[in-house]
Structure 1
Amino acid sequence: MAKGYWIVRVDIADLERYGAYVAANGAVFAAHNARFLARAGRSETLEGSSRSRNVVLEFPTYEAALACWHSAEYQEVLALRTPVSTADLLVIEGYEGPQPGDS
């Protein structure tokens, strides 16, 4: 079964208050077996638009990624982020097909 991913781009208006979201989200993500693949590291926009912070979270399945976002626990944590940031969050199913160079 293919993994699920959150692709998140965020602009933060209040770093101090955003810190409360960061402190609270770990327990929720752990409960949904998520792990960070990228978390606010260096980035360069080569095409299109961007935001100041980028995150990629991996979940065991696409359904698990959706379930995390819809969970009551995450919705409580999300309430900490939304007043102090603007975000784009995409849930995407992983790909398990042929790769470049495969014969």
Structure 2
Amino acid sequence: MGMGMTKGYIVNNITVKDEAGYANCRVTAAKTLEDAAGTFLVRGGRHEVIEGQSYERIIICEFESYEAAHAASAAVRALGDLRGDSAVANIVVVEGV
């Protein structure tokens, strides 16, 4: 890889407890990430746990840099209030290689 900036990612691990209650959060979350110039690489879909535990849904969104992903994470954090008790989430910002 050249000397350019590395990509940044927001990785969302989510288990929905109340589908109806989570529906509005899902729509708002997608718009929030798209508005922050994120690109969905993984958005739910089939997955298999090889080792350890996993959440029900895995969502990975790519950004132009770690800094851009980190900046978008503030808006993602705010979604926690909207999500409430409808889902359990583990969300991280990570720098690519």
Partner SS state of residue 88, structure 2: strand
Higher-Rg structure is 1
Q: TM-score, normalised by structure 1?
A: 0.81
* Equivalent runs, 1:24-103 vs 2, <5 Å: 24-71=28-75, 74-95=76-97
Gaps of 5+ in 2: none
Alpha-carbon distance in 2 for matches of 1:61, 1:78: 23
Take 1:80 and 1:65, find their aligned partners in 2: how far apart are those partners? 20
Identity %: 31
Alignment RMSD? 1.4
Q: How many residues align?
A: 93
* Structure-to-structure mapping, 1:12-31, within 5 angstroms: 12-31=16-35
3-state secondary structure, aligned to 2:94: strand
Detail structure 1 runs of 4+ shifted over 2 Å in the superposition. Answer: 74-78
Paired with 1:79 and 1:32, the residues of 2 have a C-alpha distance of 19
Note closer, same or farther for the CA distance 1:39–1:17 as it changes in structure 2 (3 Å cut).
same
Deviations 1:14-61 (A, max 9, x none): 111111011112332122100110111000000111111111111111
- Identify the residue that residue 100 of structure 1 maps to in structure 2: none
What secondary structure is seen at the aligned counterpart in 2 of 1:46? coil
**How far 1:76 moved relative to its partner?**
4.1
C-alpha distance after superposition, 1:63-101 (max 9, x if no partner): 111111114xx4443321132111111111010xxxxxx
Of 6, 10, 22, the match for 2:14: 10
The SS at the match of 1:27 is helix
